[in-house]
A and B are shown apart, each in its own frame.
Chain A
Amino acid sequence: MSLLGRLNLQAIQHGWVIAAGQLTLVGVMLLVLGYLTFTKRWKWLWREWLTTVDPKRIGVMYILFAGLMGLRGLTDAAMMRAQQAVSVGGNHGFLSPDHYQQIFTAHGTIMIFFLAMGLMFGLINLVVPLQIGSRDVAFPFLNATSFWLYAMGGMLLNLSLVIGGFAATGWLAYPPLSELAYSPGVGVDYWIWGLQVAGIGSLLSGINFMVTILRMRAPGMSLMKMPMFCWSVLGSLSLIIFAFPILTATLTMLALDRTLGMHFFTSYYGGNPMMYVNLIWAWGHPEVYILILPAFGVFSEVVATFSRKPLFGYKSMVWAIWGIVLLSFLVWLHHFFTMGAGADVNAFFGIMTMAIAVPTGVKIFNWLFTMYRGRVRFATPMLWFMGFVALFTVGGVAGVIMALPPADFQLHNSLFLVAHFHTMIVGGVVFGYLAGLTYWFPKFTGFKLNERLGRYAFYCWFFGFLLAFVPLYILGLMGATRRLDHYDPSLGWHQLFIVAGIGVAVICAGVGFQVLQLIVSIRQRKQNLDTTGDPWNGRTLEWSTASPPPAYNYAVIPNVENKDAFWAMKKLKTPLPETRYESITMPKNTIMPLVIASFAFALGFGMIWHMYWLSILGLLAIISCIVIRGSADEHEYVLSAAQVRQTEEALKERYV
């Protein structure tokens, strides 16, 4: 056994497509390093970002990292569509079958775990403490650790682009294909350990924000006065707490099969591959709702604000959230009706699946009734909402069709399914988070995004989406299965695949507009400054503090008496209580979270390449870090009342 395990020079990947990816990766890294050195920003990076425990900064880092991951996932998507548009008959396209399989695996994994989860935790970090009138999260140190674990998991996964190669198993790595016998390389191990590291980060975040919401709300904010975004996040966090441990356990079992030769999911020695499929979807289906619930929360805030009306049916919204939370644990089997569990079991899960349409429908109607007779402003976040209603309803109906087991036997693993879940995840989750990013952008930067470019981006996304995915519904009904890298011209699919390819190009143009929008908005920020802290005439507490908020969020913790607390303060013209500044206890910056996550990275890397000494060292180092952290107890500093007054007055005088 060598010191490097199975790592050697041959592990560095070849091929021109991969080389282009590697060059981009290295190029971007050199560019960033060069920029930091050239502008002498290393100290700034260390002080303001790498060691920070401020959820607002952590939120920004989540979103930036998720954005980068999204670009990689989008590149994968574009390559797949390009391949399918040309690889017909005698032409075999530009991707080998094995590489194509790695690409669709990477696309799914990255988009769900690192784009969607990243945007979600980014928004939660940015918004939740502010909305509940809190100065911080419950465990700032743990929060930073969660972020760095997520980021290190993502980097571990992307390292496979350079060294070794990725899984070619599909994004959920079903056994027996993902077992050692059929996937002997390191790809599946990258998948396992990348997700394990990031998944534990998500689990810790779930605990952290659960405690934050339940224990740190401003005085007077009873649960039923809480903003709807926080309610939806609370629903999502409960799902994280109950579902992510299942993922941890399942990944551990697959890793045990692969490294210790156990037989959980092998197809011999009594292993049971279908058990994996059950376990992974017992996590995987709640995961879908983990992602969509906060997006629902974003829309609840956006629709109420831009309709200038309180949210219609607040209580029914809350009940709908908890209905979805409960039902989401009772439907996992609809992902594999074809497994042959029998008519009764399939019927039960089919009915449960259809039942989810009820609370979801309640929410859709509540938003529409909120708009009814409101004075609606069609700003960009509202456009995303309108697009969401159209797509999500169509996708939802497609879902109800597939909830019928007999129909599902036809549609299972077809492109119809692929079109369905993209409609839900792009139309629902992505549109929701993009609406949220546009909506809360001024709060964290102090200036608004350019509206016109935002609209262009939306229209490209919306029509590009229809162009890319309506053909897939049709193709699915024509019998096209998912994950095809080549097909015969006689099937008559070619034109539709070309249309879908054009659709992805239009979506890419939308992403291009978004990047442009960001650059233009930063350059023209003087014209779009948010001088009041309340650019949209908002309803909830986060708009009552300055934009961007000071590190402690609120110099004086607000007292909440109504739902839509800030709106009520503005309407009732509540006389501001005499400002009495007090000293504030703040957590100190620390590099420890990044160090812990780096050791987790080393642990994962060692496991992937069978360098067990590295894994053991990583594990021991993590334990030592935790012991050291637990031993010292001066983790806070005090900001004196005079310092708070100084900061607040400087904030007020900025734009005078």
Chain B
Amino acid sequence: MSRVETARQEAESKTLFGFWVYLMTDSVLFASFFATFAVLRNSTYGGPSGETLFSLPFVLAETLILLTSSFSCGLAILSARQGQKNRVLWLFGLTFLLGLAFLGLELHEFSHLYYEGNGWRRSGFLSAFFSLVGTHGLHITAGLIWMAVMMSKVRSAGLTPFNLKRLTMLSLFWHFLDIIWIFIFTVVYLLGVAS
């Protein structure tokens, strides 16, 4: 193995560790939005509360779609480790579509709320709601862009060690967003309807 390759391998292991640290900082970012939401969840200023706004079956559908996408993403990484390029491509394709569907549903919910007069200007509660869920949505968007780029790279260059490490990080990111969504589902929607 050439020196450049050894150096690059070391660099890749550092990159993975660095990515974990980045995910930690991202958790703190989300924690700040969660804390804000917890403070403002009853500050409806006479406007509607979560109980009247949220439809649990709808959110459950979103959740199931996102969880399935996480599952297919996990399968894709397993196939990537086994070097099955075509399976990787169609599994990530599936993940991408599921992610896109999730994003579409979320935007549908947002626009529905907005056009019924319950936009982010309505109350502190709705500001916190749109920001927390929207931050998650922006992350999903970033993940989808990343996924599209990675798929085109896998298609052209194959499952090189470089691409494999990037795919690993992408899947970490995707699972991380899944976990965040579980918290959103619980804290925002379930507790919102329960109270």
User: Could you tell me which A residues sit within 8 Å of B by CB distance?
Assistant: 138-139, 203, 206-208, 210-211, 214-216, 241-242, 244-246, 248-250, 252-253, 256-257, 260-264, 266, 268-272, 275, 279, 582-583, 585, 623, 627, 630-631, 633, 636, 638
Contact = CB atoms under 8 A, between A and B. Distances in A.
B179 interface: no
Contacts of A263: 43, 45, 121, 123-124, 127
B158 to A, nearest CB: 13
A648 B59 CA distance: 65
A279 B127 CA distance: 16
A461 B35 CA distance: 43
The 9 closest A-B pairs by CB, nearest first: A270-B43, A270-B124, A249-B32, A262-B127, A270-B45, A245-B28, A245-B29, A585-B7, A263-B124
B21 A272 contact: no
Given A249-B29, A269-B124, 17 more contacts: A138-B14, A207-B21, A207-B25, A211-B21, A215-B13, A215-B17, A241-B24, A241-B25, A244-B25, A245-B26, A252-B131, A263-B123, A264-B36, A270-B124, A272-B39, A583-B3, A627-B145
Contact of B40 (A211, A270, A585): A270
B92 interface: no
Given A211-B17, A211-B21, A270 B120 contact: no
B122 to A, nearest CB: 8
A275 B39 contact: yes
Interface in B120-169: 120-125, 127-128, 130-131, 145, 149, 153, 162, 166
Given A245-B25, A631-B153, A262 B14 contact: no
Interface string B1-30: 001100110000111011001101110110
B21 A260 contact: no
Contacts of B18: 138-139, 207-208, 210-211
Interface residues of B, number: 42
Contacts of A256: 120, 127, 131
Given A253-B131, A630-B149, A636 B7 contact: yes
B144 to A, nearest CB: 12
Contacts of B25: 203, 206-207, 241-242, 244-245
Contacts of B122: 269
Contacts, number: 120
A427 to B, nearest CB: 31
Main secondary structure of the interface of B (DSSP, over half): helix
A207 B128 CA distance: 28
B33 interface: yes
A394 B148 CA distance: 59
A630 B166 contact: yes
Contacts of A631: 149, 153
Nearest to B123: A270
B127 A633 contact: no
B44 interface: yes
B14 A139 contact: yes
A338 B156 CA distance: 62
Contacts of A207: 18, 21-22, 25
Contact of B120 (A203, A245, A261): A261
21 contacts: A207-B18, A216-B14, A245-B29, A246-B29, A248-B29, A249-B29, A249-B32, A249-B33, A249-B36, A253-B36, A253-B131, A256-B127, A262-B121, A263-B121, A263-B123, A264-B124, A272-B39, A275-B39, A582-B3, A627-B149, A630-B166
A577 B56 CA distance: 70
A192 to B, nearest CB: 15
A131 B35 CA distance: 39
A272 B43 contact: yes
A138 B10 CA distance: 10
A531 B66 CA distance: 63
B94 to A, nearest CB: 22
A277 to B, nearest CB: 12
A216 B7 CA distance: 12
A260 B32 contact: no
Contacts of B24: 241
Contact of B145 (A203, A271, A623): A623
A262 B125 CA distance: 10
Contacts of A138: 14, 18
B163 to A, nearest CB: 10
Which interface residue of A210, A250, A275, A638 has the most chain B CB atoms within 10 A? A275
A269 B145 CA distance: 36
Contacts of B123: 263, 269-270
Which interface residue of B13, B128, B166 has the most chain A CB atoms within 10 A? B128
A269 B45 contact: yes
A636 B4 CA distance: 8
Nearest to B149: A627
Nearest to A637: B4
A216 B13 CA distance: 11
Nearest to A587: B11
Interface string B65-88: 000000000000000000000000
Which interface residue of B15, B31, B32, B162 has the most chain A CB atoms within 10 A? B32
A585 B39 contact: no
Contacts of A139: 14-15, 18
A280 to B, nearest CB: 11
A583 B40 CA distance: 59
A80 B68 CA distance: 61
B43 A271 contact: yes
A268 to B, nearest CB: 8
A375 to B, nearest CB: 42
Nearest to A248: B29
Contacts of A638: 3-4
A582 B127 CA distance: 59
Interface string B96-125: 000000000000000000000000111111
B136 to A, nearest CB: 13
Contact of A210 (B21, B31, B124): B21
Contacts of B45: 263, 268-270
A227 B176 CA distance: 35
B7 A260 contact: no
Nearest to B17: A211
A210 to B, nearest CB: 6
Contacts of B14: 138-139, 211, 215-216
A214 B18 CA distance: 10
A269 B121 CA distance: 8
A246 B45 CA distance: 26
Contacts of B22: 207
Contact of B32 (A250, A262, A270): A250
Nearest to B148: A627
A312 B115 CA distance: 67
A253 B124 CA distance: 11
Which interface residue of B22, B24, B25, B122 has the most chain A CB atoms within 10 A? B25
Contacts of B128: 264
Nearest to A264: B127
A294 to B, nearest CB: 19
A583 B32 CA distance: 47
A275 B122 CA distance: 19
A271 B28 contact: no
Contacts of A242: 25, 28
B40 A262 contact: no
Contact of B36 (A241, A244, A275): A275
A583 B7 CA distance: 11
A206 B28 CA distance: 14
A578 to B, nearest CB: 20
A272 B127 CA distance: 12
A257 B44 CA distance: 16
